[in-house]
Amino acid sequence: MYEHERRQALADFLRQRRARLSPADVGLPSGIRRRTPGLRREEVAQLANIGTSWYVWLEQGRDVHPSAQVLESLAQALRLTINERLHLFLLAGQSPPSQTSPLKEHVSPAIKQMLEDLNPTPAYVMGRRYDYLAWNMTADALFSISAASTPYARNMLWRLFTDPEMREHPHWELLARGSLAEFRAAYARYPRDSYFEELVEDLKRVSPEFCLWWPHHDARSSLDGHKTLKHPDLGPLEFEHTTLQDLSNPDLRIMIYTPDAATRTKLQQLLESVASSSA
């Protein structure tokens, strides 16, 4: 019974994802007027480079067993997100292989607006490679994100291991080893991403700690929780750190530092100072 239900769920999923696409979405001519919205079955089969009958059997819930290659082709043909791709493989009774062509790291206008609306709460978006992709004014004033002076100036891990000010954090080793453990998990998901390889090799050359800890395959829990930062002008700042994910691309993480009342007042003053100096 379970296998029958799983195949029916897979069939429903494929039909729904096919129905939401138009020929223009996938670069096909519209042709004659269609009775129902979405792509035809034969068009999906053509895009995925598989037999039409095979695809029809999948949508009928028949007892067929598509390979990982076929599922990957279907995921690309149907323009599935990372989460949808994972769901497709699970419905087909398979574990998804590593993502070989990761989605382009794009921060939507809605998320950028949300970052600005959070001021004076520092917030930024970090990509799969631990690069800062977008940030609000408070985060920039606090972490100097926009000050790019080296090839990896906007990479959080590079800053953590090479920036003298960040290394003065009272719990630097705990923070560095925890961040490194999370970074290693991201590194493992994209074994063909040359950026990861170059960053790791460069960090080995400049940081003895990184070189020592990298082989350990350490695993730690989330870095969320209470944070204390020491600012040269504002003094100690207290935050609750929270990480959110973009469901359309879970590799994009929104990092939010919610300040306590005293810290919020200091950050508001900092923003006013930045605004007046740039006026």
Domains recognised in the chain with CATH numbers? 2-91 (1.10.260.40), 109-278 (3.30.450.180)
Q: Residue 159's closest CA among 199, 103, 217? A: 199
Higher pLDDT, 143 or 99: 143
- Distance separating alpha carbons of residues 118 and 256, to the nearest angstrom: 9
Burial group, residue 225, by CB count within 10 angstroms (0-12, 13-18, 19+): exposed
Is residue 158 over pLDDT 90?
A: yes
What's the confidence (pLDDT) of residue 202? 94
Phi-psi region of 129 (alpha: psi -120 to 50; beta: other; left: phi over 0): alpha
pLDDT confidence of residue 159: 92
Taking 90 as the threshold, does the pLDDT of residue 54 lie above it? no
218 — pLDDT class (breaks 50, 70, 90): low
Name the percent of the chain lying above pLDDT 70: 87
The set of residues, in sequence order, having a beta carbon less than 8 Å from that of 274 and lying 6+ positions away, is: 137, 141
Q: How far from each other are the two terminal CA atoms of the chain, in whole angstroms?
A: 69
**pLDDT score for 242:** 93
What sign results for the dihedral spanned by CA atoms 22, 24, 26, 28? Answer: positive
> ∠ at Cα 126 (120, 127), nearest 5°?
160
Which whole number is the average pLDDT over 115-126? 96
The whole-number average pLDDT for the span 175-191 is 80
- pLDDT(221) > 70: no
State residue 132's pLDDT score.
95
39-67 mean pLDDT:
89
Residue 109 has pLDDT above 80, yes or no: yes
250 or 212, which is more confident: 212
Question: What is the pLDDT at residue 101?
Answer: 54
Single-letter amino acid code for the residue at 198: E
User: Is residue 248 scored above 80 in pLDDT?
Assistant: no
pTM of the full predicted structure? 0.65
pLDDT at 219 over 60: no
